[in-house]
């Protein structure tokens, strides 16, 4: 059974940093691209970042303005999101998702981790 479990969310002050992790199991992690998708309270889904299987290609939403860094460790079956210079607009549930192999959709989602940016 495919499982994606996010951790690392919490309360952080504006300008602060946070690192999210996603532990994957139930599939060959190195065979799929992975992604972060976020959802602000009461709002819609927003794509944040994608990373290819070997980390050769990493993409970010333009709106992030270079503040976030996505990485993965295939040996540890883990995905990471380093978030810097956080603002209140970054407050959201952050989901780890798997890209369907050979496709461009998100076939599995974690339960999400809440990041709250507030003074």
- Smaller CB separation from other proteins, 8 or 112: 112
CB of 93 to other proteins, least distance (A): 9
The structure tokens listed for 66 are 């270079």
Q: Which residue number, 75 or 104, has a Cβ lying nearer to other proteins? A: 104
Strand ranges (DSSP E) for the chain? 3-7, 10-12, 18-25, 34-39, 45-51, 58-60, 68-73, 78-83, 92-99, 106-109, 113-117
Helix ranges (DSSP H) in 7-82: none
CA 103 – CA 119 distance, rounded (Å): 41
Residues that bind other proteins (CB under 8 A): 35, 37, 44-47, 50, 59, 61-62, 95, 100, 103-112
In angstroms, what is the minimal distance from the CB of 20 to other proteins? Answer: 15
Residue nearer to other proteins on the CB measure, 12 or 37: 37
User: Smallest distance, Å, CB 45 to other proteins?
Assistant: 4
């Amino acid at each position: 059974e495919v499982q994606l479990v996010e951790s690392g969310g919490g309360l952080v002050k504006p300008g602060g940093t946070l690192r999210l992790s996603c532990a994957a199991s139930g599939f060959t992690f190195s065979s799929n691209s992975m992604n972060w998708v976020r959802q602000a309270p009461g709002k819609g889904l927003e794509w944040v970042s994608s990373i290819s299987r070997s980390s050769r290609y990493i993409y970010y939403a333009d709106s992030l303005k270079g503040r976030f860094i996505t990485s993965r460790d295939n040996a540890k079956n883990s995905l990471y999101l380093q978030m810097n210079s956080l603002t209140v607009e970054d407050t959201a549930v952050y989901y780890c998702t798997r890209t369907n192999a050979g496709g461009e959709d998100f076939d599995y989602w974690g339960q999400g981790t809440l990041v709250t940016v507030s003074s």
